[in-house]
Structure 1
Amino acid sequence: MSLQIVEIDAETALPLRHRVLWPDHPVDFSRVPGDESALHLGAYEGGELVCVLSLFTEGTDIRLRKFATRPDRQNQGIGSALFSAALDRARASGARRLWLSARASASGFYARFGLEPFGDPYFKETEPCRDMQIRLDQSLASSA
């Protein structure tokens, strides 16, 4: 099946976010302030939404939030394809940095894309987390 990556709205992303990330909480726990103005991307396979993420502009930075892949579709390259598309969008926007709050279990995934940890580790609910970032303007500066 072919993968289609498209812009979606927050309401389309919400059910998958909730089901994957915080199923034991109310749906509103998976909402984010600013959802209405963020860029939401979804990966569809066979007409089904299987992966979502959201990009929030914060000054000259872009923050990635609520990255969720349906459990039966994980480890199949779908999240990598969607994350690559998000990085491309962030670079094209002129942002200087993309950052995110990564669950410790996902830090290796982000490191493969060049993200590096910063700040101290912390917990969100019972999930160990770490902030990670990548400079988006380095490749532009080094090629000038």
Structure 2
Amino acid sequence: MHTAVTVQAVDYPSQSAALHAIRQRVFVHGQGIDPALERDSADAGAVHVLAMAADGQWVGTGRLVIDAAGEHGRIGRMAVLPDWRGQGVGAAMLQWLEQQARQRGVSRLQLHAQLPALALYLRAGWLPCGPEFVEASLPHLPLHKRLDGAMAVGGELAAQAALACIISTTGRQLRLLAPLLDPGLLDAPLVLDSLRALAARRQPVQVQILVDDPTAIVRCGGAALALLQRRPSVFSIRQRSLDHTTSANALAVNDRGYWLQRPSAASPDGQAGLPWRPSTQRVLQAFEQDWSCAADCPELRPLRL
């Protein structure tokens, strides 16, 4: 198993050979992209990152290009050597580049995600902002992320991305209001995989879930319900009292300032802070008031065979 990598900023003039070598191997040789597209005029003024393995080998690279006004940035040229994929290298570089953008006062970020790497960005809180398109002969999806406030969430994929991000960034506590366990959302592969990973952590995690109709949930069944019933030490479920509710009709909030609110559980559209701490306490208080008035759900307890 690979050891952890070190992510660091690099000076482009002195390290251009190293980062272009990675990009050549990944984009030109690995994906068949035209060599003329591997580099461009933005390289000279971009913020570049390289990921280094414990043995000193460079294994990944990426860049941040900031516009002239200093308000918007674009992350791109994200490349990880084949043997190092799936090791968290891309996620580490993405986090570093986002932090650099924040430190430089950038308020909004964009990127074009290759579809095979889409889950990496969605779990990091990047939301779709347009239709799929072809770039350099490969399918991409445009994504964006706001660093200075809440983001509008529109469409099923955006809602799945926001919820997966909230689950993945949870420290020890996650709260969900999902009236019918949100069919099509909680059981979407991106979200369900994030829930499974959260439940499988070694450190203690508490997930509180409010629902409205336990009988209907049992009748529909599904993978999300099965997971919750298998891990009662992690997931606590109560039925919301609709006479005393103060929450939106669907929400998620964790202990690290990430949240999602949707006015209607029947629609994926809403608003999310990924993170946006100024609104976190308001969302959390609404959930906790509903939780204090909620009742146990014997219908959803795991079966004892």
Q: Structures share a fold, TM > 0.5? A: yes
Higher relative contact order (CA 8 A, sep 6+): 1
Tell me which moved more, 16-25 or 106-115: 16-25
Contact 2:46-2:64 at 8 Å conserved across structures: yes
Task: Indicate the residue corresponding to 1:64 in structure 2.
Answer: 75
* Post-superposition offset of 1:93: 1.1
* Post-superposition offset of 1:2: 4.3
* Post-superposition offset of 1:12: 2.8
Deviating above 6 A after TM superposition, structure 1's stretches of 4 or more consecutive aligned residues are none
Highest CA radius of gyration, 1 or 2?
Answer: 2
Task: Indicate the residue corresponding to 2:245 in structure 1.
Answer: none
Matched to 1:55, the amino acid is L
Query: Helix, strand or coil for the counterpart of 1:94?
Result: coil
| CA distance in structure 2 between the partners assigned to 1:103 and 1:64 by the alignment | 13
* Post-superposition offset of 1:34: 1.5
* Post-superposition offset of 1:48: 0.5
| CA distance in structure 2 between the partners assigned to 1:105 and 1:25 by the alignment | 16
Task: Indicate the residue corresponding to 1:36 in structure 2.
Answer: 44
Tell me which moved more, 12-21 or 35-44: 12-21
Structure 1 gap segments, 5+ residues each = none
1:142 counterpart = 2:278: yes
Change (3 A) 1:122 1:2: closer
| CA distance in structure 2 between the partners assigned to 1:129 and 1:113 by the alignment | 17
Task: Indicate the residue corresponding to 2:8 in structure 1.
Answer: 6
Matched to 1:6, the amino acid is Q
* CA deviation profile, 1:85-144 (whole Å, cap 9, x unmatched): 11111111110111101111211110000000112211013311111010011256837x
Tell me which moved more, 15-24 or 45-54: 15-24
Query: TM-score, with normalisation over the residues of structure 2?
Result: 0.44
Task: Indicate the residue corresponding to 2:180 in structure 1.
Answer: none
1:47 counterpart = 2:53: no
Matched to 1:142, the amino acid is P
* Post-superposition offset of 1:19: 0.9
Q: Match for 1:123 among 109, 134, 143?
A: 134
Q: Match for 2:144 among 133, 137, 144?
A: 133
* Post-superposition offset of 1:11: 3.6
Structure 2 gap segments, 5+ residues each = 150-274, 280-305
* Post-superposition offset of 1:33: 2.0
| CA distance in structure 1 between the partners assigned to 2:61 and 2:117 by the alignment | 15
Change (3 A) 1:125 1:26: closer
* Post-superposition offset of 1:15: 1.2
| CA distance in structure 2 between the partners assigned to 1:22 and 1:28 by the alignment | 9
Tell me which moved more, 27-36 or 2-11: 2-11
Query: TM-score, with normalisation over the residues of structure 1?
Result: 0.90
1:85 counterpart = 2:96: yes
Number of residues paired by the alignment? 143
| CA distance in structure 2 between the partners assigned to 1:57 and 1:78 by the alignment | 23
Contact 2:26-2:80 at 8 Å conserved across structures: yes
Q: Identify, as 1 or 2, the structure richer in strand.
A: 1
| CA distance in structure 1 between the partners assigned to 2:106 and 2:20 by the alignment | 25
